[in-house]
Chain A
Amino acid sequence: AQSVSQHNHHVILSEAASLELGCNYSYGGTVNLFWYVQYPGQHLQLLLKYFSGDPLVKGIKGFEAEFIKSKFSFNLRKPSVQWSDTAEYFCAFWTYNTDKLIFGTGTRLQVFP
């Protein structure tokens, strides 16, 4: 079955620390990949997406993600986190085959000043 695995359920960092959140998907065909962020009390927002082309994708607020097809991975990175990055992060993928978004379980990030 198609699925997304986010290995880190809860990450706690100090400000200025570097961040990497893991995301692996299970599907052998062409995928569109997404990272969504949900700040406390707010709705899900798109952080970045990959459809094709350069596998290193830059998103909003200094986030980036790299699509590594051989590893079925789409890890999210940020070199220096801020307190305002405290949120829940969801990885998701979409395929033409299913025509729906499949989400991971999410990673809660807490950043302390």
Chain B
Amino acid sequence: GAVVSQHPSWVICKSGTSVKIECRSLDFQATTMFWYRQFPKQSLMLMATSNEGSKATYEQGVEKDKFLINHASLTLSTLTVTSAHPEDSSFYICSAEQTGNTEAFFGQGTRLTVV
């Protein structure tokens, strides 16, 4: 199957700093990428949908100024958590869809810990 690589796998940052997470589709072009957040023992919650070359669509309750998403190319989307706080600590997962294919391929996730 198609491969989606997420980097870094884990990151620890100080409160108030910003953290960038990358999501790359390695062997296919992804017109649409999704960013999820997963709390312990809860389901994956969709944060936003990003389409290459356009602004991301954020789900209700997700602060677009805090979670900046950039999908500058067909193989790369980035999520930047700005001015991170301890409550932003979570597991962030990206997924990507091939053009015209509704099957999503997932990255391995990024464990963010804000101290």
Interface residues of A (CB under 8 A from B): 4, 9, 32, 36, 42-46, 49, 51, 90, 94, 99-106
Residues of A within 8 A of B104 (CB): 101
B interface, size bucket: 20 to 34
Residue in B4, B42, B46, B93 whose CB lies within 8 Å of A100 = B46
Is B106's beta carbon under 8 Å from chain A? yes
Is A105 a contact partner of B108 (Cβ separation < 8 A)?
no
Query: Which of B4, B42, B103 interacts with A43 by CB under 8 Å?
Result: B4
User: A43-B4, A43-B108, A45-B106 known; A105 and B42 CB under 8 Å?
Assistant: yes
Decide if A104 touches B43 in the complex (CB within 8 Å). Answer: yes
* Residues A100 and B43 in contact, CB atoms below 8 Å apart: no
Q: Can you name the residue of chain B whose Cβ is closest to the Cβ of A99?
A: B49
Chain A residues within 8 Å of B106, by CB: 36, 43-45
CA distance A46 to B34 in the complex (A): 16
With A43-B109, A49-B103, A100-B46 given, is the CB distance from A105 to B34 under 8 Å? no
B102 close to A (CB within 8 Å): yes
| Nearest CB in chain A: distance from B90 CB, A | 15
A107 to B: closest C-beta gap in Å: 11
Set of chain B residues within 8 Å of A102, measured between Cβ atoms? 46
Return the 3 tightest CB-CB contacts between A and B, nearest first.
Answer: A44-B106, A43-B108, A103-B43
For residue B108, which residues in chain A have a CB less than 8 angstroms away from its CB? 42-43
Known: A46-B1, A51-B102. 13 other contacts (CB 8 A): A4-B43, A9-B41, A36-B106, A43-B6, A43-B107, A46-B105, A94-B102, A100-B49, A101-B44, A101-B46, A101-B104, A103-B36, A105-B41
Decide if B41 touches A103 in the complex (CB within 8 Å). no
- Per the 8 Å Cβ criterion, residues 31-58 of B in contact with A are 34, 36, 41-44, 46, 49
Give the nearest-CB partner of B3 in chain A.
A43
Cβ-defined contact, B102 with A90, below 8 A: no
